[in-house]
Chain A
Amino acid sequence: MTFRVVHYINQFFAGIGGEEKAGEVVPELRQGVVGPGAALAAALKGEAEVVGTIICGDGYFAEHMDQATAEILDLLKSCNPDILIAGPAFNAGRYGTACGAICDAAAKQLGIPTVTGMYKENPGVDMYRKNTFIVSTADNARGIKDAVPTMAKLAVKLLKKETVGLGPEEGYIERGVRRNYFLEETGAQRAAVMMAKKLRGEPFVTEYPMPVFDRVEPNPAVKDMKNAVIALVTSGGICPKGNPDHIEASSATKYGEYDISTFAALSEADSETAHGGYDPTYANKEPNRVLPVDVLRDMEKEGVFKKLYDKYYTTVGNGTPVANAKRFGTEIGQKLKKDGVSAVILTST
């Protein structure tokens, strides 16, 4: 008997469509393999069979997480699977979140093993690394030829209940699971060896990596809104018509700084979105849907706050490396602080 695999993919990999379909493709089950499932089936080498493929739009999933998860679990149950394999999602944030969420739900509610694949900066990694096996992939779909065999190999091991090695050996992102085993040398001896290496400036591997909690404490609230200067920032890619600074549609390396001091509102005639990660129809038609200049200008006139800051800052938050986003945030924050801004509204799509 071969093991039964169910594969989860999004609307894009299923060949249904790109962003214009992301919000409308509701969960559906197809028999056998679809899209990248063919490569997965080949990599399973007959040890397991892809019996069905569940497809869901990334936008639909992100906007109806609980409902979509329940619907997908029902489809999954009907296949009587031995394992769920999702993605790989590379650096697609909504897709990664969906893969992680359904793997988590399938493991908890059906008690089956699950495997997915993501780039290490995918937001789905931090959310679900403890709940599923996430194979570390490249940040884009060109990495599929490496990702799929690693996922398949790990899946077969899980199905055969073989011992799964450490993350770096098996190619998955560490889950924070500890397994006890015996060593000849005591902890004190190993620590002394590590200390000696550290003193000599030699490389060593810690046995207990400390978690990194990079949190920023909330700043105090705005006490005097009537005298406050409010600035607008967005990762939704709104920019002047024609995208004069050529902000990239994904993996942005820059942000834009644009004057709105004379604008009562944004419009289709003067603004658009540079974002390549969502259907731009609605933002292009009415850019205030992403960057609410119109209502902020009204409120400024009404005296709700003193001033809408003269410029807005914008970039595209679509597969943007964390290091770039960090740099943008630092630079934007410093400029706004220096110019006497009181508080920031940041919108994301």
Chain B
Amino acid sequence: MVKEIERSGLPVVHICTIVPISLTVGANRIVPAVAIPHPLGDPTRTLAEEKIIRRKLVEKALRALQTEVHEQTVFTE
């Protein structure tokens, strides 16, 4: 799905937990997430803390979308 949306001409960032699968399916911009059942949250934290974690991941995703890449890139920083 990531690859076909990219093919339509839109940059896509894939926020996902299992990075090796994302690399296999051909995502170009990848942001590693927290965990499978809650990629953008952490139920062991308070809701307010979780929202900060989520905000940071989304900010990272937007940075990835603003970064020129020429090959599959995992944005860990």
Contact = CB atoms under 8 A, between A and B. Distances in A.
A336 B5 contact: yes
A328 B8 CA distance: 12
B65 interface: yes
Nearest to A58: B36
Contacts of B62: 225, 230, 299, 304-305
A345 B55 CA distance: 13
Given A97-B21, A127-B20, A281-B37, A221 B11 contact: yes
A59 B9 CA distance: 33
Contacts of A93: 18, 21
Interface in A74-118: 93-94, 97
Contacts of B39: 236, 289-290, 347-349
| Interface size range on B against A | 35 or more
B24 interface: yes
Interface string B28-69: 110001011111110100010011001101100110011111
Interface residues of A, number: 68
Contacts of B33: 347-348
A167 interface: no
Interface in B11-27: 11-18, 20-22, 24-27
Contacts of A325: 1, 4
Contacts of A328: 1, 4
A22 to B, nearest CB: 8
Contact of B1 (A281, A286, A292, A329): A329
A292 B66 contact: no
B9 to A, nearest CB: 6
Interface stretch (A145-153, A157-165, A201-209, A211-219): A211-219
B17 to A, nearest CB: 7
Contacts of B29: 218
Contacts of B69: 218, 221
B2 interface: yes
A126 interface: yes
Contact of A289 (B27, B38, B66): B38
A345 B58 CA distance: 9
A138 interface: no
Contact of B40 (A230, A292, A315): A292
A63 B13 contact: no
B58 A295 contact: yes
Interface in A270-320: 278-283, 285-286, 288-290, 292, 294-296, 298-299, 304-305, 315, 317
Given A333-B8, A336-B10, A278 B15 contact: no
Contact of A333 (B10, B14, B20, B47): B10
Contact of A215 (B15, B21, B26, B73): B26
Contact of A222 (B8, B38, B65): B65
A296 B11 contact: no
| Top 10 closest pairs, chain A to chain B, by CB | A329-B4, A333-B8, A289-B41, A218-B28, A329-B1, A348-B16, A333-B5, A289-B38, A282-B38, A219-B11
Interface of B: 1-18, 20-22, 24-29, 33, 35-41, 43, 47, 50-51, 54-55, 57-58, 61-62, 65-71, 73
Interface of A: 19, 22-23, 59, 62-63, 65, 93-94, 97, 123, 126-127, 214-223, 225, 230, 233, 235-236, 278-283, 285-286, 288-290, 292, 294-296, 298-299, 304-305, 315, 317, 325-326, 328-330, 332-334, 336-337, 341-349
